[in-house]
Structure 1
Amino acid sequence: MKIMLDAGHGPNTIGKRTPDGKMKEFEFNEAVAQLVKNELTGFDLIVMNCHDRERDVPLKERTTLANKMRVDAFISLHANAYGTTWNNTSGIETFTYTKPSEQSVILATLIQNSLCSITGRWNRGVKKADFSVVRDTRMPAVLVECGFMTNKHEAILLQSTEYRMRCAKAISFAILCWIQQKR
């Protein structure tokens, strides 16, 4: 089984950061992607990344790679934002395409429930959106928002090693549960 992880955006994406500039979104996304990859090591899985630490990989390049490699699942990792200033919007949400496959919905639900359970953050639910990484992939695909960079409390969590590890463990657990139910 092949899993592709996407640390959303890139190291140079403009505007994707906490309002105080202390954390770029990619820092969180890439750290969690690496932790998920480490967690899944030893489970007879091939885990690949479609992002690059050195450059912003275009979305089309990410989805083309996933389709070419015929991965079994595509998980795009993100930290959310509401506007560009501090506010009280908080919680975790997971997205599928607007016309999702049944397996995308199952994977999204498992990830959403696992993340909310292990982090204790507010459950904003599984939602549908026309994001290219879930639209242009030919396999079950989800986009996960692990908290809001524009919420002061969640921004502190997103910058902490402990919270990143919790997110990675939750996402890894959900992926393994999804694989198990498919067998």
Structure 2
Amino acid sequence: MRPHLLLIAAILLLLARPTVAQDEVERCNVAIDIGHTETTQGSTSARGVGEYLFNRTMANLLLNKLHRAHRVDAFIIDGNDMTLQQRTQFAADHHATVFFSLHHDSVQPRYLSTWTYQGKEHHYSAKFHGFSLFISEKNPYPKQSLALAQSLGTQLLDAGFTPTLHHAEKIPGESRPLLDPHRGIYAFDDLIVLKTASMPAVLLECGVIVNRSEELHLTDPKKRARMIQAVATAIERTCPRISLEDHTPTTSRDVH
């Protein structure tokens, strides 16, 4: 099942090379989803900062970058007053070509230690670091989702970032099927924003914010800019090609 999906996605990725005449390439429209909300922040960093704040910062940086890109439009989904399904419906209502959700990562409780920072006790872990990418094979466009994830992974690697493979560990809360170890791509079939999106969808965990060193990297303006450039390059190269693909939804029979 998955080797077949990987082969098809690899072919789509090759086709994403920017060698097509300008008049043959469509514009695409990217829905940038800010993971979590102001009231439900998600993970907490090693220094006590809520994940949502990291996600929002990266989403706005990406929006500004994509607004200067060729052939790409973009808008932000800030789901403070939305359910997860309403986020993907909002993307569909605004004619998104792809749904891209931004998050920052943590680890399972067994790997957490405590330390004191500015007089307060916080959890941290030095065991894992790096980015990860997720797609859902229950999304109607798993091939295109994987092709975009592969492009993102390639650009992040080229920019000097490394993937984390800890989500594949066979422990409670993890055990995610690892589709592409080199690029850190996993299947998370029942993740709501991925499986309910009516367009290709990818979720990026930018890094592990409970790792004290990586938290500093993820707040460094130069490193953020480098990551945003990598993500924007992948989207700009791949998304217009996805908009030209036959968007007949893939049935489970096609995937398997």
Contact 1:33 1:168 in 2 (8 A): no
Pick the structure with greater CA Rg: 2
Tell me: CA distance 1:71–1:140, structure 2 relative to 1, closer, same or farther (3 Å): same
Which of 10, 13, 20 is residue 40 of structure 2 equivalent to? 13
Matched with 1:34 is: 60
Aligned partners of 2:81, 2:148: CA distance in 1, in Å? Answer: 26
Contact 1:116–1:123 at 8 Å: present in 2 too? Answer: no
- Write the distance in 1 (CA, Å) between the matches of 2:81 and 2:39: 6
CA distance in 1: counterparts of 2:41 and 2:61, whole angstroms: 25
Structure 1 position 132 matched with structure 2 position 192: yes
SS in structure 2 at match of 1:75:
strand
Q: Is the 8 A contact 1:93 1:123 kept in 2?
A: yes
Residues 58-80 of structure 1: CA distance to partner in whole angstroms, max 9, x if unpaired? 21221110122221001001111
Q: For 2:132, which of 78, 93, 108 is the aligned residue? A: 93
Change (3 A) 1:96 1:122: closer
User: Amino acid of the residue matched to residue 51 of structure 2?
Assistant: E
Relative distance call for 1:20 and 1:56 in structure 2 (3 A) is farther
**Counterpart amino acid of residue 158 in structure 1:** L
* TM-score normalised by the chain length of structure 1: 0.88
Q: Distance in 2 between matches of 1:177 and 1:138?
A: 21
Q: 2:42 & 2:63 partners in 1: Cα distance?
A: 27
Structure 1 unaligned regions, length at least 5: none
Structure-2-length-normalised TM-score: 0.65
Provide the C-alpha distance between the structure 1 equivalents of 2:161 and 2:74, rounded to a whole number of angstroms. Answer: 27
Whole-Å separation in 2 of the counterparts to 1:14 and 1:144: 16
Shift of 1:147: 0.6
- Structure 1 residues 73 and 31: alpha-carbon distance in aligned structure 2, compared to 1, 3 A threshold: same
Aligned pairs for 1:1-183 (under 5 A) are: 1-14=28-41, 16-21=43-48, 23-42=49-68, 43-51=70-78, 55=80, 57-83=82-108, 85-87=123-125, 88-99=127-138, 101-122=142-163, 124=165, 125-129=184-188, 130-182=190-242
Return closer, same or farther for 1:19/1:133 CA change in 2, 3 Å cut-off.
same
**What is the aligned length?**
180
Q: Is the CA contact (8 Å cut-off) linking 2:36 and 2:42 kept in structure 1?
A: no
> Bigger CA drift: 172-181 or 106-115?
172-181
Are residues 112 and 123 of structure 1, via their aligned partners in 2, closer, same or farther at CA, if it must alter by over 3 Å?
farther
2:159 is paired with a residue whose SS is: helix
Runs of 4+ residues deviating >3 angstroms: 180-183
Q: How far apart are the structure 1 equivalents of 2:130 and 2:210?
A: 11
Measured in 2, the distance between the counterparts of 1:121 and 1:105 equals: 18
